[in-house]
Chains A and B, each alone.
Chain A
Amino acid sequence: MSEKKIRVLIAKPGLDGHDRGAKFVAQTLRDAGMEVIYTGLRQTPSSIVAAAIQEDVDVVGLSILSGAHNTLLPRVVELLEENGAGDILVFGGGVIPEADIPFLKEHGVKEIFTPGTPSDIYVKFIRENVQQHNDQGG
């Protein structure tokens, strides 16, 4: 009854109000047996990080379709590090051009899932990366 569940925070940073994708991701992760903390719209990077830390999640997933990703995603990574939670993985999705992905990865975002990515891809990604992380003694 108390096997360790993977805990994921799904958040929408900034002012973007399109949450259809984020909600779908939350539901598929739940269907995959994970505990998903959904923080809703209009979250600042600081409030996302505060929640991620209190909930002791393994992964943070950020959904953004408004083009503000190059500012907001790295900021979340930065704040996690500043608060001693740099081992929490960050991934993103939404309307993010492929050309921006290298920049985001350089700034600590582990992966970006572009529109049309089937759910088993990101479920697998989370499972493998959390497993790897736990094996490393996290």
Chain B
Amino acid sequence: MSLQDELEKWRQGAYKKSIEKFPERKPVFKTSFNTPIEPLYCPEEDSYNYIEKLGFPSEYPYTRGVQPTMYRSRLWTMRQYAGFGTAEESNKRYKYLLEQGQTGLSVAFDLPTQIGFDSDHPLSDGEVGKVGVAIDSLRDMEILFDGIPLGKVSTSMTINATASILFAMYIVVAEKQGYKANELDGTIQNDILKEYIARGTYRFPPKPSMRLITDIFAYASKEVPKWNTISISGYHIREAGSNAVQEVAFTLADGIAYVEAALKAGLDIDTFAPRLSFFFNAHNNLLEEVAKYRAARRLWAWIMKERFNASTKSQILRFHTQTAGSTLTAQQPDNNIVRVAIQTLAAVLGGTQSLHTNSRDEAMALPTEESVRIALRTQQIVAYESGVADTVDPLAGSYFIEELTNTIEQKAKEYIQRIDDLGGMVEAIEKGFAQREIQNNAYRYQKEIESGEFVVVGVNKFQVKENSPQNLLKVDPSIQITQIEKINRIKAERDNDSVKLMLAEVRRAATSGENLMPRIIAAVKVYATLGEIVDEMKVVFGEHKETVIL
């Protein structure tokens, strides 16, 4: 069969089926000079080994995309990460964003919440409500989502070490609103391995942390089946200074580790694997980034098929993207709007399922309402005005793009082999392998900036004398006091006998190995605090100490 015959087969098959369920956004897409834009373009002759290396969208190896029509039917989800200070303020910001056209919620938590300390813990001093919302108990979660129907929105929560507890709280809040768990749609990041490598908000050591993750997989696959129980992240690895190949390699290696852990825990691969999702960075080099996403899709499909013998649904790599915060400068901050626009293009041309765009004041503080609106408009302009969403995988066939895609895939494969040789990702992390690779790359990159070899506009070239930026967001320092008062009130008002019982149950299940999720849900319901639940687990699991490589 010729390539053109294959294309026709796909059009009559997967494509036709898809538009019956998800009609395209317009009856006809056309150019400015009135010629039609097809859903997909392929080479005339097959000089690319097309079927094997590229395939058709929604078909193995998924290089060109995970759905037949991609953005022609539905644009990517515009999901801006937000949350700061109190649950009340965050609730206001969510409502604002939903009004402005955002299509999914993304929750940012403060560091004490992410690591498992209540707002009244000594280590929380100065940190409460700074990088996200402070959640000490179910009460804060109720306020956070007040007036927001959880059964009708899709919510992504950036939470890792304490994911089990926040997930439990979400489920309980939704239940109180009248929604059943199996109606809920969303994501928890829940990727502890990258915390050890690049992000730093771990609490327990690797083994018990993996156990918590598989407990969540098992629980959700039965009770919350629409939920994405993990967002295997490369974003932070890139932010820590890795290059594009390392971003793909370490992320997929983490994925392999999670799959192996779940299989070891007795889960069926085709039950949990379809719910695995990924999270990548959108960096400055547009062409490299597009190739990176395509390479990641192809490589993951190959891994799932060949290594784990998984079925189609499990082979598909779906991902969220965030534009690269570390590329944004404090100097001439309006330039950042341009950077983010380019990074948005990269993510869209790369086929992302959802996108967060950073605001221009990223290098200085949390974004103001105006800055965040511009970031959202950036996505909307690309979606509606630029035309790049009108056909699938438009850059395919570019000599450069295909070459880059092949190279990134190849080099990432080599890294994964090295990690396998070290005994897998958990071992590699304990040995400091990934951390060292990232650090060396970060050092080299920074040196290139300092020497001027790598130009950063406004920083080492085209500088101007600037005034201090005005109107930055300030987080009210009295939040810590308010939260502490709240905790005291909760502790006085709740049924402390029940709390004691439920906490003991958490400790018992942590020891026995039973699934912790039901016990955590029960504890959360009686208003046990986050810190109290974590402390029970800490007794059994211990705490992780940093592996420092310098």
Residues of A within 8 A of B (CB): 14-20, 23-24, 26-27, 38, 40-42, 44, 66-72, 95, 97-99, 114-116, 118-120
Q: Number of contacting residues on B, CB 8 A?
A: 44
Pairwise interchain contact A24-B442, C-beta atoms closer than 8 A? yes
Instruction: Select one of B111, B364, B548 contacting A15, CB under 8 A.
Output: B111
Contacts of B477 in A (CB 8 A): 70-71
Instruction: List the B residue with the shortest CB-CB distance to A16.
Output: B111
Contacts of A67 in B (CB 8 A): 127, 130-131, 365-366, 475
Pairwise interchain contact B475-A15, C-beta atoms closer than 8 A? no
Given A20-B239, A27-B443, A71-B125, A118-B195 contact (CB < 8 Å): no
Taken residue by residue from 118 to 142, chain B's Cβ proximity to chain A (1 for < 8 Å, 0 otherwise) reads as: 0000111111001100000000000
Pairwise interchain contact A17-B550, C-beta atoms closer than 8 A? no
Instruction: Select one of A38, A40, A66 contacting B131, CB under 8 A.
Output: A66
Pairwise interchain contact A38-B475, C-beta atoms closer than 8 A? no
| Residue B199 interfacial (CB < 8 Å) | yes
Closest Cβ of chain A: how far from B544's Cβ, in Å?
10
Instruction: List the B residue with the shortest CB-CB distance to A25.
Output: B446
Pairwise interchain contact A114-B127, C-beta atoms closer than 8 A? no
Contacts of B114 in A (CB 8 A): 15
Closest Cβ of chain B: how far from A115's Cβ, in Å?
5
Pairwise interchain contact B365-A26, C-beta atoms closer than 8 A? no
> Top 5 A-B pairs ranked by shortest CB distance?
A17-B200, A71-B126, A68-B126, A67-B130, A15-B111
CA–CA, A2 and B51, complex, Å:
68
Contacts of A116 in B (CB 8 A): 329-331, 363, 456, 459
- Interface residues in B199-218 by Cβ distance below 8 A to A read 199-201
Contacts of B126 in A (CB 8 A): 14, 68-72
* Sample (9) of A-B pairs whose CB atoms are under 8 Å apart: A14-B123, A16-B200, A19-B200, A20-B240, A20-B326, A42-B123, A97-B469, A115-B329, A116-B459
Pairwise interchain contact B546-A41, C-beta atoms closer than 8 A? yes
Residue of B114, B126, B365, B548 ringed by the most chain A CB atoms within 10 A: B126
Given contacts A15-B114, A67-B365, 13 further A-B pairs with CB under 8 A are A14-B111, A14-B125, A15-B111, A15-B123, A18-B199, A18-B239, A26-B550, A27-B443, A40-B546, A66-B111, A66-B127, A67-B475, A97-B472
Given A14-B126, A27-B443, A99-B468, A41-B366 contact (CB < 8 Å): no
Given A27-B550, A97-B469, A98-B469, A115-B123 contact (CB < 8 Å): no
Contacts of A27 in B (CB 8 A): 443, 550
Residue of A24, A41, A67, A98 ringed by the most chain B CB atoms within 10 A: A67
| Residue B368 interfacial (CB < 8 Å) | no
CA–CA, A42 and B116, complex, Å:
13
Pairwise interchain contact A115-B330, C-beta atoms closer than 8 A? yes
Taken residue by residue from 25 to 51, chain B's Cβ proximity to chain A (1 for < 8 Å, 0 otherwise) reads as: 000000000000000000000000000
CA–CA, A47 and B460, complex, Å:
37
| Residue B112 interfacial (CB < 8 Å) | yes
Residue of B200, B366, B475 ringed by the most chain A CB atoms within 10 A: B200
Contacts of A118 in B (CB 8 A): 450, 460
Pairwise interchain contact A68-B330, C-beta atoms closer than 8 A? no
| Residue B312 interfacial (CB < 8 Å) | no
Pairwise interchain contact A97-B550, C-beta atoms closer than 8 A? no
Contacts of B127 in A (CB 8 A): 14-16, 66-68
Contacts of B450 in A (CB 8 A): 118-120
Closest Cβ of chain B: how far from A53's Cβ, in Å?
20
Contacts of B123 in A (CB 8 A): 14-15, 42, 44
Pairwise interchain contact B363-A115, C-beta atoms closer than 8 A? yes
Instruction: Select one of A16, A17, A38 contacting B195, CB under 8 A.
Output: A17
